Amino acid sequence: MFEKEEFHNREKQHQVNKKCDGDPLSAIFSGLIVILVGVLFLLVTQDYLRWGDWWAYLLAGIGIIFVIEVIVRQTRPQYRCPIAGKLIGGLVLIAVGAGHIYGLRHWWPLVIIVVGFVIMFIGFKKLRGT
């Protein structure tokens, strides 16, 4: 009986992952990341950013894009996919990038901000009833 239930769970997860492969949101958010890279290179070549700092903005920007994707996927049932990894990864990227941008002694309030986002996310999930 346990093997049958395990097979059913694996099959269900496979269907969810298959549904998420190649959906339009993936293309949209991938395009946003490419645009972010282009904008950052433009800002560097125009001397608004230094070459030594552009990567921190890239990490923070990708993190923000990941978090926005998580929010969109949670509000659109037809595009729901597993999002925990993207949420955690996005928040970590934001923290690392912002920590470099603002300096290590100034970044500790970002931890409070991240905790606030996690609390909001849990609240939205409870509001939705899932």
Contact 29, 63 (CB under 8 A): no
DSSP 49: S
| Mean pLDDT on 13-32 | 71
Q: How sure is the predictor about 14, in pLDDT bands with cuts at 50, 70 and 90?
A: very low
Question: CA 25, CA 114: separation in Å to the nearest integer?
Answer: 24
Phi/psi for 50 (5° steps) reads: -95, 150
Round to whole Å and give the CA distance between 96 and 25: 25
**What value does the mean pLDDT of the chain take?**
79
On the CB side of 66, CA atoms within 13 Å amount to 21
CA–chain centroid gap for 63, Å, is 5
For the segment 88-96, the average pLDDT, to the nearest whole number, is 84
Which residue type does 29 have? F
The residues spanned by each domain of the chain are 2-128
